Every structure is written in C-alpha cells, then in structure tokens.
Amino acid sequence: MPHSILPFFHIWAYLQTQPLLGLTATLCTWELANWVDIRAGRKSFTNPVLLSILILAAVLLLTHTPYKAYFTGALYVHFLLGPATVALAVPMFNNLPAIRRDFFAIITALTAGSIAAAASAMLIAHALGAPDAVVISLGPKSVTTPIAIGIAQNLGGQPSLTAVFVILTGVFGSVICTGTFRWLHVADRRAQGLAAGTAAHGIATARMLTLNQTAGAFGGVAIGLNGIVTSLILPLLVRLLGL
Amino acid sequence: MVRAMAILLLCQLAGTILQQATGLPVPGPVIGLVLLLGLLAWRGGPSESMAATAQGILKYLGLLFVPAGVGFITELQELRANAFAIAIAIAISTFLGMAVTGLLMQWLLRAQESVVPGQADAP
C-alpha cells in the first residue's frame, strides 16, 4: 500500500466517528435526488425520497460503512420528524371548515379504508409466511412516515422496515391512483383526494395535488386523520390477529 | 421562528409525557399534533411565524424520512427472504384501501347531498 493513501484512511476512520459526514451526505444526496426528479419531469418512480434512500444505501454498502456510523449524523435530520408531525396540525387546521362540513362521511370512509388497508396487508403477509416483525411493520404502511415509525416502534415492529414499506406504498399508490379512480368510477374530487391520502399518504396526495386543488386538500386532511385513526386502531387490530 | 419551533417541541414534549404517563398506544408526537390543533383552535389560527415555520418544515418532509429509510440495509436479509409476501401485501392492500375509501366517500357524499333542501321534492 502506498504511503500517500495512509493519511486518507486516518481521516476516513476519524470521520466515521463524527456526525459531519452522515449529515452532509444526507443533505447532498437529497439535493441530487431532487435535481434528478426535476430533470425527469417528476415521474412517480423518480420520487426523491426513494431515490435518496437507494443512493445512500448503495454508498453505505459499497464503502462498507455501518448504518450506525451513518446515523450518528443523519440523526439530526431524523430528529425533526417529531416536530414535523406536530406541525401537520397547521395544514389540518386550515382545512377544518372542509373537515367539519363533511365530517361524518370523511371519518367513516377513512376509518373503513384504513382498516381495509392495514388488515389486508397484515393478513396477506401473514398468510404468505412472513414473520411477525415484518407483518407488524406492514400495519402502519399507509400512514405518513413520522407517525408510521412511531406506531411501529410502539407495537414492536421494525421502524426501518416500516419506513421502506411506507415509501413503497406511497410510490405504488401514486402510480395506480388515477387509473383506480377511473376504473371504479370514483369521479368526486373530494373522494379521490381522501382515498389517495388514506391509502398512500403524502406521496399519492402530492400526485393528486398536481391534478386538482380540492383533491389535494382532502388528501392533506386524510394524511393527518389517518395518522390518528391508525395509531388508535392498529393496536387493537394487531391483538385481534394474535400477533 | 425560534418561538414557533419552541411551541412545536413543547407540544411534542407534552405529548410524549402524556403518552408515557398514560401508556396510550398513540405516539407522543401524534398527541402533540392534537394538542397543537387544540391550541390553534383556541387562538383562532396559527401566528405568522408558526404558519411559516410549519410550512418550512413540511416542505422538506420528504428529506426527514431518508435516514430511517436507509436503515433498510440492516434488514436486507429479512426483506429478501420475504420479498414476495411484502410485494403482494403492499400492492393488494394499497389498492383495497384506496378503493374502499374512495367508493364509500363518494357514496356517502352523494347520499348526503341528495337530501340537501332545494333538491328534495316536497311531498
């Protein structure tokens, strides 16, 4: 090994124990993923969250960096999930008039859809032989990530698995939403937005928002409400399924 | 900005304390969300700095998911072993949740709006 490379290894080893590298890598990758997404015309499969995760995972695996070393820096971004969840109250408050007007319809349809999504996901995975930790981690996958991670943690699932399931659900939901509504003749914009937000949270809501403002607003309502409804219902559902 | 951030953290803190004290299955930050919603209703709406701070933090919501998401590399074996079950479960359940919510919501809205006065035929 040439001597000139040696200092590099020292610096590398030092940086692995520091938060700087993980934090910088997270922000730079996010910027890169956004650039790609914009250049590709914001396709559903160029979702910047999915892209960033894949790029960073590839970098960690290729450089043999343990996730723990990365997370010492990424922790500072991760921590903001808590206040971000609380901040969801602001757009919810702005949509209160709409929620109040159709409250009965919203809460009924959302609860039914929420149970249908969570129960079917867990039942199918269980029937196909997935272990309990995976099955429980699938439960909150339709909920927006900060809330889903909290729920998975509380129920004994794997928060990191849940984070990936949530994003896969969002990407899948945003790909199928317009076709599903056409096929099932769901033409009401409020119903479309609520369904997209309930089944596939912010990623599908963002897709609906590009098509219609009303649909986007109801998607926003669904994200917040489904977070609350799922965190109340899922513990019961998990117990009912005997997990 | 700092005050709004402090309020967000205080709501999260109060929510977490409530969660720990009562053993509620709801995550602390979700209780914090409900607390802030109550605060906003009581105050008649968000202050300018709260609106800006919330918008700022939610604008980059996607970024905040990334660190947890990258954690899937610690579960690669589990994911690979169950890839089929996971893919089928996510595909079917997402479609099902969307279909149930959309169809039921549309049906309920129609039922509700067909009894709106003016459209109803008086006997």
Q: How does pLDDT run across B51-84, given as a tens digit for each residue?
A: 999 988 888 877 887 898 898 898 888 889 999 9
Domain containing residue B19: 1-59
Asked if residue A108 and residue A63 are part of one domain, the reply reads no
CB atoms within 10 A of CB B10: 16
Asked if residue A218 and residue A142 are part of one domain, the reply reads yes
Q: Of A6, A121, A130, A17, which is closest to residue A68 (Cα–Cα)? A: A17
pLDDT of B68: 84
User: Does residue B41 lie within any of the structural domains?
Assistant: yes
CB contact under 8 A, A165 and B41: no
Asked if residue B2 and residue B52 are part of one domain, the reply reads yes
HSE (CB half, 13 Å, CA atoms) of A16?
14
As for how many domains chain B has, the answer is 2
- Using a 10 angstrom Cβ sphere, with 0-12 exposed, 13-18 middle and 19 or more buried, the burial of residue B121 is exposed
pLDDT of A98: 78
Is the pLDDT at B86 greater than 50? The verdict is: yes
pLDDT of B118: 43
User: Does residue B120 lie within any of the structural domains?
Assistant: no
Distance in angstroms (rounded) separating the CA atoms of residues A106 and A181: 17
Distance in angstroms (rounded) separating the CA atoms of residues B120 and B123: 9
pLDDT of A220: 79
Long-range contacts of A115-118 (CB under 8 A, 24+ apart): A115/A233, A115/A237, A116/B93, A116/B96, A116/B97, A116/B100, A116/B101, A117/A141, A117/A142, A117/A198, A117/A199, A117/B93, A117/B94, A117/B96, A117/B97, A117/B98, A117/B100, A118/A142, A118/A230, A118/A233, A118/A234, A118/A237, A118/B93, A118/B97
Count residue pairs from A and B with Cβ separation < 8 A. Answer: 337
pLDDT of B122: 38
Asked if residue A192 and residue A150 are part of one domain, the reply reads yes
Mean pLDDT over the full length of chain B: 88
**Taking CB atoms and an 8 Å cutoff, what residues of chain B touch A105?**
105, 108-109, 112
Asked if residue B83 and residue B55 are part of one domain, the reply reads no
Asked if residue A173 and residue A126 are part of one domain, the reply reads yes
pLDDT of A26: 96
Instruction: Give the pLDDT mean for B86-98.
Output: 94
Asked if residue A105 and residue A23 are part of one domain, the reply reads no
Task: Write out the H or E segment, with its range, that includes residue A188.
Answer: none
Sequence-ordered strand ranges (E) for chain A: none
Q: Mind listing the pLDDT tens digit of every residue in chain A (243 residues)?
A: 555 667 788 888 888 888 899 999 999 999 999 999 899 987 767 778 888 989 999 999 999 999 999 999 999 999 998 898 898 888 888 888 877 888 999 999 999 999 999 999 999 999 999 999 899 999 999 898 878 888 898 888 888 889 889 988 988 888 888 889 999 999 998 999 999 989 998 778 877 777 777 787 788 788 888 988 999 999 999 988 876
CB contact under 8 A, A146 and B32: no
Asked if residue A122 and residue A55 are part of one domain, the reply reads no
CB contact under 8 A, A147 and B101: no
Q: Which residue has the higher pLDDT, B92 or A18?
A: B92
CB A148, CB A81: distance < 8 Å: no
Domain boundary among A63, A79, A95: A79
Asked if residue B10 and residue B46 are part of one domain, the reply reads yes
As for how many domains chain A has, the answer is 2
Domain containing residue A109: 86-240
Asked if residue B78 and residue B40 are part of one domain, the reply reads no
User: Does residue B66 lie within any of the structural domains?
Assistant: no
- Tokens found for residue A151: 């729920």
CB contact under 8 A, B97 and A130: no
pLDDT of A3: 58
Asked if residue A120 and residue A43 are part of one domain, the reply reads no
Q: What is the ipTM of this complex?
A: 0.85
Q: Which residue has the higher pLDDT, B31 or A146?
A: B31
Asked if residue A132 and residue A74 are part of one domain, the reply reads no
